[in-house]
Amino acid sequence: MATEATTNGGRSAPESFREAILNRRILICTFTGFTSGLPLYVLIQLVPAWLRVEGVGLAEIGFFALVGFPYTWKFLWSPIMDRYTLPFLGRRRGWMLVTQLALLVSIASMGFIKPELSIWTVAYLAAVVAFFSASQDIVLDAYRRELLPDVELGIGNAIHVQTYRLAGLVPGSLALILADHLPWHTVFVVVALFMGVGIVLTLIIQEAITNPTPPRTLREAVVEPFREFVQRKGLSGAALILAFMFLYKLGDNMATALQSPFFVDVGFTLTQIGVISKFAALIAATVGGLAGGVVMIKLGINRALWLFGVVQVISILGFAVLSVVGADPWMLGAVVAFEYLGVGLGTAAFIAFIARTTNPVFAATQFALFTALTAVPRTLANAVTGIIVEQVGWTSFFLLCTALAIPGMLLLFKVAPWGADERGS
């Protein structure tokens, strides 16, 4: 690992296609994706299903998306994690360990609360999980940007995104199956223990940059990342990129916001949701991750954004079809498989685009700013999805989500033209 733990700018490009895929950097991305995705899927899959089974209304469940504000505002404290190094494990790994231990404890504690007796306590604890999850993302994103050379950003982020989504199988599948047989507090403890994957990773890897030079002052850590981005892209270019980051995932974020309650309302049992939908997701995400990474190596990030974005838009319509067809297990598997394939591919290219847009010197703060911006539509729009569904019904809701996915695609003409030279982007 020591030979690979050098600065991004100083590492030479892989000598072969095989080396770009089969190396320890990509293996690390596999585990960073899993440990990053687990707490988010606890909040957006396990908690909504738990609340719905306990009799909480859709509107209240929808408003639970507001606890995700730490994902939106994480750039406010990312300069602290850039500027200060904890007195153990190094600049990035120290923060990794602290956030992962906090997530293990807070997720395990959630199941001991009774929603019908104290819904606000559930909300407060969910906000704690969101805060430490967003903080973990800050440092994992920075570590990954420092670890990967530019030529590996596509495949590395594709693998990260797919294992990020595969992490949803724990709270979204295993946990739901266990919930049919075990009390909820046991289920949450089992899910929390999977944070051990990230803890072990943190303890055995090395720092991506062996001799880091953090900002000299907190003011420098706050101001310079924003100034550098605007100067590098120009004011209008920076504005277009930020608009694209806001809109590209808006439609599919809304479509999947109440996925578990939607499956419950259609008529599927918890076991069907846990087994059929998540098994289909596993296959699709695995295939999508491998195919997406290979495509980005061959075609580049720009063209991948176009191709995967189209599939992403079409996949949203599958939910509208399922809402009409009803509780057909085969249709459930097909719709979820295509959704995980399309949305997973789109996310892989999108995160690779974000990584390419950052300057490795300001990785933590710029990555936090960009990914926080992408969380704004998920947090705000998801908060009102329950109200929209109750007013227009599931079918019309998914058609609306499809329409909202179009503006982000149109911005590709400006921020990622099909035939543009991506060198130096």
Distance of CA 272 to the CA centre of its chain: 25
- Please give the Cα distance from 340 to 233 (Å, whole number): 33
Please, what are the averages of pLDDT over each run of 10 residues along the chain (425 residues)? 40 50 79 90 84 73 72 82 85 92 92 77 86 92 83 77 81 84 88 93 84 75 84 86 85 79 84 75 69 73 85 86 86 82 73 81 80 71 77 89 89 83 52
Domain that holds residue 382: 17-415
Inter-residue contact 79 to 222 (CB < 8 Å) = yes
Residue 9 resides in a domain: no
Task: Give the helix/strand (H/E) hosting 391.
Answer: helix 363-392
Complete DSSP assignment for 163-204: HHHHTTHIIIIIHHHHHTTS-HHHHHHHHHHTTHHHHHHHHH
Residue 1 resides in a domain: no
Per-residue model confidence (pLDDT) at position 101: 95
Task: Give the helix/strand (H/E) hosting 133.
Answer: helix 119-147
Which residue, 252, 207, 194, 237, is CA-closest to 385? 252
Q: For the whole prediction, is pTM greater than 0.75?
A: no
Per-residue model confidence (pLDDT) at position 350: 81
- Please give the Cα distance from 122 to 245 (Å, whole number): 31
Residue 420 resides in a domain: no
Residues in the chain, how many? 425
Per-residue model confidence (pLDDT) at position 198: 92
Per-residue model confidence (pLDDT) at position 190: 92
Per-residue model confidence (pLDDT) at position 286: 67
CA geometry: angle at 118 spanning 115 and 123, to 5°?
75
- Three-state DSSP string of 256-317: CCCHHHHHHHHCCCHHHHHHHHHHHHHHHHHHHHHHHHHHHHHHCHHHHHHHHHHHHHHHHH
Query: What CATH number has the domain bearing residue 116?
Result: 1.20.1250.20
Q: Who contacts 409 (Cβ-Cβ below 8 Å, separation ≥6)?
A: 248, 306, 309, 310, 313
Cα-based distances in Å from 145 to 182, 220, 361, 371: 40, 20, 10, 13
Residue 2 resides in a domain: no
Residue 333 resides in a domain: yes
Residue 116 resides in a domain: yes
Residue 3 resides in a domain: no
- Into how many domains does the chain fold? 1
Residue 180 resides in a domain: yes
